Structure 1
Amino acid sequence: MKKMLFLLTLFCLLFASSPSLKSQTDILFSNSGMNPDVYNPAVILNNGMINLQMLVRRQWVGFPDAPSVEHVRVSHFFDDQSMGLKLSVMNQSVGKEVSRNVSLAYVYKVNFDPQISMNLGLSAGLVQRQILFSNLVFQDGNEPLIRPDENYLKPDFAFGMHLNAYDFDFGYAASHLTTIGRDPSISRIPLHQHLYAFYQINLGDVNDPKFRTGVSYHQQGKVQYLQIDAQFYRGMLQAGIGWRHTDSFILKAGLRISEFVEFAYSYDMGITRFANFNSGTHEFVVQIRLNRKSAAYLSPRFMDY
């Protein structure tokens, strides 16, 4: 009990210490565990395999220049050295702004006892940001003097920690660290922060149903989101629901074809007036595992920390 009180206190302190920031850049995801997996460099699959993950998100389908994301990640954890590497590539488009990011994360695992461990992660990479002013279209024909396209290429860093204790998971991540204490601008992406906690209820042994629920907080400048998720796993199938305040209600489903291949899908139904002008948001994830260990991997979680 004392250990759990300590972990809950740590979670609350991290939440309370988040400073007030400005602006928003990165798109949030809807499938179970995707926000920690993408934005926390400390989160990595530890299954003895090479893990390939591909994600495609199409937001506000039917609305012109709506946000879209493509993300690819390759990772492997070296259990005998208590460390792992994670290579990520992301392409994000919002209107006439295009951002591309490539990063390599180093993860180190600290074991406190057989049921409590912490991952610490640090990633470094490059972020390219393009503002395509030449693609702007003016309906009235009186086009002002169009600015030339702008292109920025800068180093980018992120830090994260992920704590696993019994059936609880806690984590914190901060990305775009080079902008700490600096005002955001067209060429400068603001600091982003993510904080989350998940709890898994095991309804039997490893092959029996499991239920996982959690809450996450995302601070992206003045825009802040609270997201609640619940996911049910049984055999090859998984299904879940989610809610992102002031934004959307989320439906989720997944299929594990084998221990090597999994699919996940989510659909966001908008809960604002803007929902009348689009047909929702679709997100697809494919997970492929290579180089199987001698022992079978039977975790029911899509994102097994």
Structure 2
Amino acid sequence: MRSKKIYRILEYNWINRALTALVFLFIYCLPGFSQSNIRINNYWENTYYINPASIYGEYNFVLTGAGRKQWINFPGAPQTFFTTFTAYSDHLNTQLGLKFFSDKIGYTSLKNLSLSYSYSVKLDDAHKLNLGVSGNVQDVLYDMNEANTETIGDPVVYANQNKMTNFNADVGFELVGRYFLIGASSQNLLSLFNEDNKLQTNASFLYGSYNMLSEQPVRLRTGITFIKNDALNQLEFNLSSYFSFNRHPDLFQLGALYRTNNEIAALFSIDLISSVRLAYSYDFFIGDIRRSSYGSQEIMLIWKFSEIPGCATCYKLFK
């Protein structure tokens, strides 16, 4: 009994030291810059969208695609398209990932391609720590046919037609348990140290979620996320209900999201088949922008291949 107690004390001391070091890393990376971060509402379905350390440990391969139309009816509003693919080896505790997104705002188009490496450390039978890093190639293009200028053919404006390319990096961690998830990430880390490398600015995420696992037909999941991007500080609160029918766990989800300031969203997802899930969200604006916009829409598809049996520590938002 004494040896088991000592083992547990040492084990949790190791966890606390690891978390303390990672939280200090996150705080160091908190300073940001003046551009809203590009992200989607449904990242809880797969947090790899915001964190290269995220490992979906139930399957060897996960492919996702998402599209978001921001501020419907607002001229030049952002349109974003995401694609991600991850390949995980349970034997090697290693994941390789690929993420591509394209974001168009007015006459500006941003493209980002990321390659990531993640490693999972088993802390005990109920907890694991995932660490990840990614390298990014970023391009910006300008379509001057959609630009309105005071002077036709202004040489200063048209000098920006050339494509610009930068390189960047993301880092992050996730502590995963059967009932909870805690993570932090810093995107576009090199933008903190290089004044010329700001095609996409630094943004940091700190998030946590509690998964109320139950054999009942309905279960709840709560989540909170803090986002830091220069003067823009946001909090997101998420509450979702998952419904199971005929031994099909989490067949569909209904949820709501509140984002400071003045934005709420309705969330819905459903298993089309056992390996394909559809997620949808619609944003409603409480602030002044509601007078010029109908809100924002987002849709996501998730394909899962090659299930890994016996995943005791998987954080299962859906199966």
Check whether the contact 1:252–1:267 (CA below 8 A) recurs between aligned residues: yes
Question: What is the TM-score when the length of structure 1 is the normalising length?
Answer: 0.86
Alignment of 1:260-279 (within 5 A): 260-279=275-294
Tell me which moved more, 161-170 or 110-119. Answer: 161-170
> How many pairs were matched up?
297
1:127 paired residue among 138, 145, 167:
138
Gaps in structure 1 of 5+ consecutive residues: none
Deviations 1:121-165 (A, max 9, x none): 011131111233442125xx7647251214211212111101113
Superposed displacement of residue 293, structure 1: 5.4
Superposed displacement of residue 188, structure 1: 3.9
Name 1:301's counterpart in structure 2. 317
What secondary structure, in the 3-state scheme, does the structure 1 residue paired with 2:41 have?
coil
Give the RMSD, CA atoms, in angstroms: 3.0
Rounded to whole Å, the distance in 2 between the matches of 1:40 and 1:165 is 17
What secondary structure, in the 3-state scheme, does the structure 1 residue paired with 2:225 have?
strand
Tell me which moved more, 119-128 or 11-20. Answer: 11-20
Name 1:74's counterpart in structure 2. 85
Alignment of 1:143-154 (within 5 A): 143=152, 145=154, 147-148=157-158, 149-154=161-166
Deviations 1:146-197 (A, max 9, x none): 5121421121211110111341211111111222234477x54322111101
Compared CA separation, residues 102 and 195, structure 1 to 2 (3 A): same
Compared CA separation, residues 203 and 290, structure 1 to 2 (3 A): closer
Rounded to whole Å, the distance in 2 between the matches of 1:258 and 1:35 is 18
Name 2:5's counterpart in structure 1. none
Rounded to whole Å, the distance in 1 between the matches of 2:93 and 2:189 is 25
Tell me which moved more, 107-116 or 42-51. Answer: 42-51
Compared CA separation, residues 194 and 299, structure 1 to 2 (3 A): closer
Rounded to whole Å, the distance in 1 between the matches of 2:135 and 2:165 is 14
Superposed displacement of residue 78, structure 1: 0.2
Deviations 1:251-298 (A, max 9, x none): 0011012320100000000111111111110000101123355789x9
Check whether the contact 1:25–1:189 (CA below 8 A) recurs between aligned residues: no
Rounded to whole Å, the distance in 1 between the matches of 2:307 and 2:201 is 40
Higher helix share: 2
Name 1:38's counterpart in structure 2. 49
1:233 paired residue among 226, 242, 249:
242
Rounded to whole Å, the distance in 1 between the matches of 2:187 and 2:108 is 19
Tell me which moved more, 10-19 or 259-268. Answer: 10-19
Name 1:113's counterpart in structure 2. 124
Compared CA separation, residues 142 and 48, structure 1 to 2 (3 A): closer
Rounded to whole Å, the distance in 2 between the matches of 1:223 and 1:184 is 21
Rounded to whole Å, the distance in 2 between the matches of 1:114 and 1:294 is 15
Rounded to whole Å, the distance in 2 between the matches of 1:299 and 1:218 is 22
Rounded to whole Å, the distance in 2 between the matches of 1:17 and 1:156 is 17
Percent sequence identity is 20
Name 1:173's counterpart in structure 2. 185
Check whether the contact 2:64–2:302 (CA below 8 A) recurs between aligned residues: yes
Name 2:32's counterpart in structure 1. 21
Check whether the contact 2:179–2:315 (CA below 8 A) recurs between aligned residues: no
Name 1:254's counterpart in structure 2. 269
The residue identity in structure 2 corresponding to 1:193 is S
Rounded to whole Å, the distance in 2 between the matches of 1:35 and 1:287 is 9
Rounded to whole Å, the distance in 2 between the matches of 1:201 and 1:64 is 42
Check whether the contact 2:34–2:229 (CA below 8 A) recurs between aligned residues: yes
Check whether the contact 2:65–2:84 (CA below 8 A) recurs between aligned residues: yes
Superposed displacement of residue 49, structure 1: 3.2
- Is 1:215 the counterpart of 2:224? The answer is yes
Rounded to whole Å, the distance in 1 between the matches of 2:45 and 2:97 is 15
The residue identity in structure 1 corresponding to 2:208 is A
1:64 paired residue among 71, 75, 79:
75
Compared CA separation, residues 195 and 112, structure 1 to 2 (3 A): same
Compared CA separation, residues 180 and 83, structure 1 to 2 (3 A): same
Gaps in structure 2 of 5+ consecutive residues: 1-7, 245-250
Question: What is the TM-score when the length of structure 2 is the normalising length?
Answer: 0.83
